[in-house]
Structure 1
Amino acid sequence: MSATMDTSAALALPPPETPEESRKGHRLHTVAVAAMTVLAAVTYLWGIERRPSGIQAYYAAAVRTMSESWSAFWWGGFDPAGFLSVDKVPGGLWPQALSVRLFGYSDMAQLLPQALVMAGCVPLLYAAVRRWAGPAAGLAGAAVLVTTPVWTVIARINAPDVYLMFCLLAVVYCATRGLKEGRAGSMAWAGLWLALGFQAKMLQAVILWGVVAAVYLCCAPPPWRRRTLHVAASSALALAVSLFWPLTAALMPAAARPYMDGSAGDSVWEMLFLYNGLSRVLDAGQEGLGPAPLTAGGAAGPLRLLGPEHAAQIGWLLPAALISLAVALLSARRAPRTDLLRSGWLLWGGWLLAYGLATSFAEGVHPYYTSSFAPAVAALAGAGAVAAARLWNGPWPGPVLLPLLIVVTTVWAVVILGDVPYAPPWSATAVAAAGGVALFLLVVSKISEFGGRPVGLLGAGVAAAGALLGPAVWSAATLDRPTSTVGAFFAMIEPVAGPSDYEAKAAAMLKVRRPLRAEELKAAEAALISAIPHADQGLHNYLRRRQGQARYLMATTGAELAAPYIARFGSAVLPMGGFTGGGPRPSAQELASLVEQGQVRYVLTGGYGVQNRANRDRTSWVHTSCRPVAPSAYGARRVQRAPVLYDCKESHELGR
């Protein structure tokens, strides 16, 4: 765009309205936002009890435990006996625990608050974008968010990320008010919401604060000293509220709370800053205490988000968002320091770049981690589309932006649909046709006297429909997942949106380069049944009959094996080694002592825990000191790779 282009137009400033137009428009916008919010809630809850919902047993176990004890609720207790905490700050699990306490334990009770919070993000994003770029941009951004595939899948799993998303949106909303009004109160509210986001996802929330602080210091209306004071005060508030729970954990005697998972020395600070901080981007964790390695997400690097693992989840409108951001900032380079529109582009653009780069270069990520910047993509793409539509009838070179966005978005969508498996065969053709028709109508509106503005509006509408078609199809396909064992397995370990490719993943698991035959699919399901940690009813009954006065039903080599029994039965299971299985507690000597005291009789070994020294020592002690129990004793068959139960009743000393 040229330097002489009207900055207000380029930054999507809405045209002035009469009072009557404003009232009528407000009513229409309210209805539209309400409709999108209801649609989002229905979508996120559709068929959630019948389809593989992505309930992760680790979180489900903690939620059940936290729902049954206020002490466990506060400390994030993982097991009913209070041995271990979850490996993160528990705030992101509190809403689920309260829901389960109110409605009883079920998948729906866990997922209801998730879906409602994610649906609530729709009007919140609209409100934030409307304050910056006008109601039309707010509506466009909300529509993009509702159809973003990763946003749909994250609303249908029990991960704590959803509360982080809501809090980050609230931070940006308050910061936008602060940039407009220059009031300390707005920044204080932003700091408070940031602290609540920290309770949900710890340091991941803090990334946004650097962007907010920098934009406020640069662009807010007050004088420099007041701006600095506002940022310092709000940062202090955010720090105080963020550290309240960790400080209570650090000051509480260890005997009065669970052991902090994710730490080698029962340290909440190690869990926060090393296990959930540096080890995510560097090889900085202690042996066996880094987060579990992730196989999803593709290779780290600047092109990770363009790969097939992520593009279909978040990338449909990512090029449009980046182009819009670049054009807007270029056009606004001579705007006044306090220009709100430029400030908004910097704020949302900073959010996208900060979290996008963090996701691109992190050591291991799930595809659903890209939800951390989905609102920024939606806001930038929506505002950019509205700006391009307004520039279409303006002076040269403004009209170039709309066709450019249409071409780039259409071509990129066709590329995505060609790269990902199981895309509907008609989808790429439909997207390409919509883009072509939109360009044709726009050209007709420019060079022909027929139609004029109505034809141009129709072309813009067709372009919007084509841009949202791909992500909408991907989001809708998430609701129609198979109920097979294969589907349940992959929905649990790798929650992604889109048409099911579970059979293809099963074929890859079996090293077969063709569609599976019926008998092969059954074989895959049988293999997965043994591989999926699950609560065996027969085994549970067997252990309960023999538990006697033992404190624990059994011990397991890692929380992965313990979680299904805690989640389904609420049983007191000892999760040795914590989430990764490589934690130091209990040591082999401590396990021997627990057996000698009669607190533990049975140990279930197996799973995919980290094989470090602590884990090997415990497992070695079990193998040498306990005897295996035949699966037939509790009505099961011996299956390869299935967990093995050991009876340690007669073992009273290490190595016996």
Structure 2
Amino acid sequence: MKNILALKSKIVSWSKENSIVFLPMTIGTFLYTFLIAKVGYGNEYYAAAVKSMMQNFKNFFFASFDPGGFVTVDKPPLGFWIQTLSCLLFGYSGISLLLPQIIAAVLSILLVYIIVKNHFGKMSAFFASLFLSTTPIYTAIARNNTIDMLMILSCILAIYFALKAIEKSSFKHFLISVFIIGLGFNIKMLQAWIVAPGIFLAYLLFTDKRLLKRFSHLVLAGVIFLVSSLWWCIVVDLTPAEKRPYMGSSQTNSALELALSYNGIQRFLPSGGSFSTIINSIFGKNSSQSTGFSSTFGPRFSFAQNINPMGAREGGEPGILRLFNQNMAGQISWVLVLAIIAFLALIIMSLAVRKKNKMLGAFTTIWGTWFLLLFVYFSFTRGLFHIYYLATIAPSVSVFAGVGLGALFDKLNESKTWIKLLALIPFVLTAAYQVYNVYRYQDSNKYWYLFAIGFAVTALIALAMIFLKNLKVLKFIAISLMAISLSIMPFYWSLTCSLYQGNAVIPSAGNPINRTSAFVMGPGLRQNFGTFDERTFDQRNNYLPRDFGFNPPSNSNSDMQPPVLPDSNSFAYNNRQRRDLNNFSPRGFGESSLASDELTQYLLKNNTGEKFILAVIRATEAAPIIIKTGKAVMAMGGFSGNDPILTVEKLKKMIKNGEVKFFQIGGIGRFRGGLGFNEASNDIYSWILENGELVNSTYNIYMVDKSKIK
């Protein structure tokens, strides 16, 4: 009892002393929860997986996408375990799915405050947490059921324990740190390892132990690091394939391949992970040169490339200024100039006082490595990445920007005028960049002069303080206006995540009506608040379908022409598209509205005990049906339709055993087919069309009678 009372007293005392942190936490909570019901189930691919994982332990452990345990999602399970537990506790709903990410986002703000306060004081910590809470892409991820926010929390927590380990020369804290990185790996795989190089390097350079002992600690920690990261992958790969779901988005049914290839090397390589692609990249050839093509089914990509080849286009052309281009700037770069200047300054300071202040060096090494590695990756990669991946760099940008503005606050107490004037330069440059950023986006450029005036007034108040001999009231007003002025536009961009219903598959901030998306609106990618590309809409203001080159053959046409999809041109379909224009309808590949009551009732009514009520090409087409019915739907090709899960013989055996009889070939949405197809897939779809009977033309449902299987 005494311990509980003592802990309560400490918490109350800490809260009073650090009450300033509750402002950014409150701002963040508001941004992450305001009108949250509009998000619905978020990314339906992952929402369906959670519903499946709730049904039995096997689905739960392996992170099965479907209730039938046919194929897994394309990520490790820990993040979805947390979401599943949330749904088991509060009931399956969109809010229950989103709650873990919202909590993780708010806790990350608090952790950033604690970490920065321990090394740079309250003001720097407050600014860092404020900038993080209002980072637009961070808000977009906090309001989505992708598991990135849980991974980000694990990275920040690992940094907290790593700094404690170096400060106290505690090997125990270091082991906790690397173990947490392993937990992060089991949330989002290799992305979580981004903090590992800085943590290992900082421990090696700054721990107060003999060099040999440091190396021995690093070796043992490395073992813990690998075991905590890879244990689930190893267990999965050692489990016989017939006793578990197929490992989704892998080409060899391997969790290790999923981690190291699909969620690893392929994120760095243009259009794929094959050796031919690497060689073409080295010699400067266009990645499309290594792309195969099927005259029947459209583009096909080389082995192990099983990813969306459009990914890098979201970020624009690679280069050192990529994070400042119009695609990315509104998401992440509002205080990036300040962060870069502060980062460079900390490097210089760390080198100058390395022996006197080891914690400054450790702090700069850990956060700086995280920042630098991601800055280089996002600037130069030609591999697959989506705009929302930028959320992973948000904590390091916010930390350095907060430290930079906090340093300015401290320097305003200096006696020398030239030091104060020099300290104002980072703020002036950041303010100038923000004015430019406001000016170049169409929805906000008419207000650029107001921001220019506001920043100018703030700078003048700061100058007045400098030349009026440190009036305390002016200092308070100046630094408050600086923090507020630098946060206005990030806050507004973050708020757009509540005001508009964005794409749940590729979440981002900003007004989605004035941007295009690689998945929804075609290849023109002037992102967020940019010029509207009218070519992506038809005369009735409807979204134009995206053509990926695959339209399955109808069984009445030997030339393999696409089947007629009457619902896509129906009044109801067009009316829905027009209505959703105001709220940016794309919630995912397989929108819930497409899993109509008519379709689900047909499937349930005509199911005669089959394990799977329907088989579709991709998981994203199955997801809304799973969410609506809770029944097993087979995604024959996994997430994107490319996974080599089935053969014709295996499918015939499943049909003969009464596991499945209905097949939807072609889909009814704007996406028809996978992003690339192998020969096995071609054979399967052709066999279904040749041996099946079209029983529902509205939804392109074919039935294969098991009595006809030889």
1:35 to 1:586, Cα distance in 2 relative to 1, 3 A: same
Distance in 1 between residues matched to 2:637 and 2:304, nearest whole Å: 9
- Structure 2 counterpart of 1:169, which letter? I
- Structure 2 counterpart of 1:621, which letter? W
- Which structure 2 segments of 5+ residues have no match? 1-10, 275-301, 525-531, 544-572, 667-671
Distance in 2 between residues matched to 1:626 and 1:514, nearest whole Å: 36
- Structure 2 counterpart of 1:619, which letter? Y
Q: What secondary structure does 1:82 align onto?
A: coil
- Structure 1 counterpart of 2:429, which letter? V
1:500 to 1:275, Cα distance in 2 relative to 1, 3 A: closer
Is residue 316 of structure 1 aligned with residue 337 of structure 2? Answer: no
Kindly state the Cα deviation for residue 198 of structure 1 after the two structures are TM-superposed: 0.7
Q: Does the 8 A contact of 2:612 with 2:659 survive in 1?
A: yes
Kindly state the Cα deviation for residue 288 of structure 1 after the two structures are TM-superposed: 6.7
- Structure 1 counterpart of 2:454, which letter? A
Distance in 1 between residues matched to 2:25 and 2:215, nearest whole Å: 37
Kindly state the Cα deviation for residue 141 of structure 1 after the two structures are TM-superposed: 0.8
Q: Does the 8 A contact of 1:96 with 1:110 survive in 2?
A: yes
Instruction: Give the TM-score normalised by structure 1.
Output: 0.87
Kindly state the Cα deviation for residue 174 of structure 1 after the two structures are TM-superposed: 0.9
Q: What secondary structure does 2:50 align onto?
A: helix
Q: Does the 8 A contact of 1:288 with 1:611 survive in 2?
A: no
- Structure 1 counterpart of 2:308, which letter? A
Kindly state the Cα deviation for residue 511 of structure 1 after the two structures are TM-superposed: 6.2
Kindly state the Cα deviation for residue 366 of structure 1 after the two structures are TM-superposed: 1.5
Distance in 1 between residues matched to 2:675 and 2:534, nearest whole Å: 28
Is residue 377 of structure 1 aligned with residue 397 of structure 2? Answer: yes
Provide, for residues 380-416 of structure 1, a one-character-per-residue CA deviation record: whole Å limited to 9, x for no partner: 1101111122123424653244321121111111222
Q: What secondary structure does 1:376 align onto?
A: helix
Provide, for residues 291-319 of structure 1, a one-character-per-residue CA deviation record: whole Å limited to 9, x for no partner: 23335232334332112221111111111
Higher alpha-carbon deviation: 155-164 or 180-189: 180-189
Instruction: Give the TM-score normalised by structure 2.
Output: 0.81
Is residue 446 of structure 1 aligned with residue 502 of structure 2? Answer: no
Q: Does the 8 A contact of 1:422 with 1:501 survive in 2?
A: no
Q: Does the 8 A contact of 2:54 with 2:88 survive in 1?
A: yes
Is residue 611 of structure 1 aligned with residue 676 of structure 2? Answer: yes
1:26 to 1:258, Cα distance in 2 relative to 1, 3 A: closer
Is residue 299 of structure 1 aligned with residue 299 of structure 2? Answer: no
Provide, for residues 601-644 of structure 1, a one-character-per-residue CA deviation record: whole Å limited to 9, x for no partner: 1111223413322322222112222232344xxxx5xxxxxx62
Kindly state the Cα deviation for residue 351 of structure 1 after the two structures are TM-superposed: 1.0
Higher alpha-carbon deviation: 601-610 or 184-193: 601-610
1:68 to 1:397, Cα distance in 2 relative to 1, 3 A: farther
- Which structure 1 segments of 5+ residues have no match? 1-22, 482-486, 637-642
Kindly state the Cα deviation for residue 542 of structure 1 after the two structures are TM-superposed: 0.8
Aligned to 2:240: 253
The correspondence of residues 205-284 of structure 1 with structure 2, limited to 5 A, is 205-282=192-269, 283-284=272-273
Aligned to 1:622: 688
Q: Does the 8 A contact of 1:178 with 1:187 survive in 2?
A: yes
- Structure 2 counterpart of 1:330, which letter? I
Q: What secondary structure does 2:664 align onto?
A: strand
Provide, for residues 168-203 of structure 1, a one-character-per-residue CA deviation record: whole Å limited to 9, x for no partner: 001111111122121111211111111111111111
Q: What secondary structure does 1:165 align onto?
A: helix
Q: Does the 8 A contact of 1:195 with 1:242 survive in 2?
A: yes
Distance in 2 between residues matched to 1:149 and 1:319, nearest whole Å: 16
Distance in 2 between residues matched to 1:544 and 1:152, nearest whole Å: 39
Distance in 2 between residues matched to 1:184 and 1:224, nearest whole Å: 14
Distance in 2 between residues matched to 1:456 and 1:222, nearest whole Å: 43
Aligned to 1:512: 534
Is residue 495 of structure 1 aligned with residue 507 of structure 2? Answer: yes
1:429 to 1:402, Cα distance in 2 relative to 1, 3 A: farther
- Structure 2 counterpart of 1:496, which letter? S
1:474 to 1:85, Cα distance in 2 relative to 1, 3 A: same
Kindly state the Cα deviation for residue 271 of structure 1 after the two structures are TM-superposed: 1.4
Distance in 1 between residues matched to 2:418 and 2:175, nearest whole Å: 42
1:611 to 1:524, Cα distance in 2 relative to 1, 3 A: farther
Higher alpha-carbon deviation: 613-622 or 520-529: 520-529
Aligned to 1:43: 31
Aligned to 1:558: 618
Distance in 2 between residues matched to 1:68 and 1:514, nearest whole Å: 41
- Structure 1 counterpart of 2:402, which letter? G
Aligned to 2:454: 434
- Structure 2 counterpart of 1:644, which letter? N
1:76 to 1:513, Cα distance in 2 relative to 1, 3 A: closer
- Structure 2 counterpart of 1:574, which letter? M
Aligned to 1:9: none
Q: Does the 8 A contact of 1:77 with 1:85 survive in 2?
A: yes
* Structure 2 residue corresponding to 1:336, chosen from 337, 340, 354: 354
Is residue 646 of structure 1 aligned with residue 702 of structure 2? Answer: yes
Is residue 601 of structure 1 aligned with residue 666 of structure 2? Answer: no
Aligned to 2:635: 575
Kindly state the Cα deviation for residue 342 of structure 1 after the two structures are TM-superposed: 3.0
The correspondence of residues 520-531 of structure 1 with structure 2, limited to 5 A, is 523=574, 525-526=576-577
Distance in 2 between residues matched to 1:591 and 1:478, nearest whole Å: 43
Aligned to 2:292: none
Aligned to 2:569: none
Distance in 2 between residues matched to 1:590 and 1:196, nearest whole Å: 36
Higher alpha-carbon deviation: 62-71 or 249-258: 249-258
Q: What secondary structure does 1:365 align onto?
A: coil
Q: Does the 8 A contact of 1:311 with 1:416 survive in 2?
A: yes
Aligned to 1:349: 368
1:161 to 1:247, Cα distance in 2 relative to 1, 3 A: same
RMSD: 2.8
Is residue 473 of structure 1 aligned with residue 492 of structure 2? Answer: yes
Higher alpha-carbon deviation: 174-183 or 609-618: 609-618
1:507 to 1:171, Cα distance in 2 relative to 1, 3 A: closer
Aligned to 1:169: 156
Aligned to 1:402: 423
Aligned to 1:18: none
Distance in 1 between residues matched to 2:538 and 2:423, nearest whole Å: 45
1:368 to 1:524, Cα distance in 2 relative to 1, 3 A: farther
Kindly state the Cα deviation for residue 120 of structure 1 after the two structures are TM-superposed: 1.0
1:446 to 1:34, Cα distance in 2 relative to 1, 3 A: closer
Aligned to 2:48: 61
Higher alpha-carbon deviation: 388-397 or 300-309: 388-397
Kindly state the Cα deviation for residue 424 of structure 1 after the two structures are TM-superposed: 7.4
* Structure 1 residue corresponding to 2:60, chosen from 48, 73, 77: 73
Distance in 1 between residues matched to 2:43 and 2:496, nearest whole Å: 21
Aligned to 1:132: 119
Q: Does the 8 A contact of 1:262 with 1:270 survive in 2?
A: no
Aligned to 1:15: none
Kindly state the Cα deviation for residue 229 of structure 1 after the two structures are TM-superposed: 2.6
Distance in 1 between residues matched to 2:13 and 2:329, nearest whole Å: 35
Distance in 2 between residues matched to 1:582 and 1:190, nearest whole Å: 37
Kindly state the Cα deviation for residue 26 of structure 1 after the two structures are TM-superposed: 5.6
Q: Does the 8 A contact of 1:86 with 1:260 survive in 2?
A: yes
Is residue 149 of structure 1 aligned with residue 123 of structure 2? Answer: no
Percent identity of paired positions between Structure 1 and Structure 2: 26
Distance in 1 between residues matched to 2:690 and 2:681, nearest whole Å: 14
Aligned to 2:303: 287
Give the number of aligned pairs: 613
Kindly state the Cα deviation for residue 565 of structure 1 after the two structures are TM-superposed: 0.9
- Structure 1 counterpart of 2:508, which letter? V
